[in-house]
């Protein structure tokens, strides 16, 4: 009887220990599930905030579109939205003129000596891109299979460790050039702030172009002349390309007026939102069609 009592006590202790272990496991799983649900809720709310921010930016652009004469960096749309606190989170954003950048898709055209191609080649050289970058990117996006002097077509890409084909189509996003021959992440990162991927024929807005783009457009624009041109633009934005040419610093020249403008239709929107520990970023390319409408060309929510 004494041995039986001892065995019963030991069995009871084992059962109690097992019950405690099960209870602890269930509690831990409950807590993990609860954290997962809360994080997922915050993720959804952060994404919703980011997408709402894109709509807010579209409204700003449409409001600005009621004054369609020119677009410049002194307008409300060009101001960066500072962090706006929200319940357990915040939202911030910025609108950038996509036409303040050089349009990489023009490289897919046949004209080897066009002013746009010359400007892109100058920008590539100044940004430290591979010497043959213009031919490489041109072959990547043009509609034929003929290889340019320093370019690459399907035969090159099929021989790589990860075989692929050249898209031979205009780009939707500039980052796509990262898959082209010799276009390293470093080279692409250096070019991204100064390139856009827009329909061919879309002009560059000289009122919003960054200094690096202006240097690729205007000849003999050394650092001193560039500083003067930027100061002149801040003082009074250009209303026509003829005025832009007339107000260039002494010694600077504009080889061609082709594909230049003082107003824009395409804008890049970036919105960052945080809810709790969750972060979301929405990026979109918007085409402003007039005073009361705009169209999202593409949108990415991360």
What are the residue ranges spanned by the domains of the chain? 2-99+265-301, 101-261
pLDDT at position 234 is 96
Q: Would you state the pLDDT for residue 131? A: 86
pLDDT attached to residue 293: 81
Is residue 291 within 8 Å of residue 68, measured between CB atoms?
yes
What are the pLDDT tens digits along the chain (302 aa)? 666 666 666 666 666 666 566 555 655 556 565 555 555 788 888 888 899 999 999 999 998 888 768 999 999 999 988 888 888 889 999 999 999 999 999 998 866 678 999 999 999 999 999 889 999 999 999 988 889 888 999 999 999 998 999 999 999 999 999 999 999 999 999 999 999 999 988 999 999 999 999 999 999 999 999 999 999 999 999 999 999 999 999 999 999 999 999 999 999 999 999 998 899 999 999 999 865 688 999 999 98
**For 101-261, CATH number?**
1.10.40.60
Q: Quick one: pLDDT at residue 290? A: 66
Q: Which CATH class is domain 2-99+265-301?
A: alpha beta
Angle of helix 115-126 versus helix 133-141 axis, rounded to 10: 130
Query: In angstroms, how far apart are the furthest CA atoms of the chain?
Result: 113
- The whole-number pLDDT of residue 277 equals 86
């Amino acid at each position: 009887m004494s041995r039986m009592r001892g065995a019963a006590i030991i069995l009871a202790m084992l059962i109690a220990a097992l019950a405690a272990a099960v209870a602890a496991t269930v509690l831990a799983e409950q807590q993990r599930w609860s954290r997962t649900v809360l994080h997922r809720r915050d993720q959804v709310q952060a994404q919703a905030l980011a997408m709402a921010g894109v709509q807010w930016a579209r409204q700003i652009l449409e409001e600005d579109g009621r004054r369609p004469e020119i677009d410049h960096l002194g307008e409300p749309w060009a101001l960066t939205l500072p962090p706006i606190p929200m319940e357990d989170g915040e939202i911030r954003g910025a609108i950038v003129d996509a036409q303040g950048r050089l349009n990489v898709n023009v490289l897919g055209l046949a004209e080897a000596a066009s002013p746009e191609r010359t400007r892109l080649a100058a920008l590539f050289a100044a940004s430290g891109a591979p010497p043959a970058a213009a031919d490489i990117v041109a072959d990547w996006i043009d509609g034929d299979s003929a290889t340019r002097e320093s370019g690459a077509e399907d035969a090159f890409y099929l021989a790589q460790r990860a075989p692929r084909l050249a898209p031979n189509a205009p780009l939707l996003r500039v980052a796509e050039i990262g898959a082209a021959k010799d276009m390293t992440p470093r080279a692409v990162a250096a070019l991204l702030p100064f390139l856009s991927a827009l329909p061919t024929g879309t002009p560059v807005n000289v009122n919003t172009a960054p200094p690096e783009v202006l240097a690729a457009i205007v000849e003999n624009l050394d650092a001193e002349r560039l500083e003067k041109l930027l100061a002149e633009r801040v003082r009074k934005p250009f209303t026509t390309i003829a005025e832009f040419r007339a107000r260039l610093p002494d010694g600077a020249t504009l080889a061609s007026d082709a594909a230049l403008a003082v107003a824009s239709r395409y804008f890049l929107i970036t919105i960052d939102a945080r809810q709790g520990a969750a972060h979301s970023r929405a990026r979109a390319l918007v085409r402003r069609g007039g005073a009361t409408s705009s169209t999202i060309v593409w949108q990415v929510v991360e």
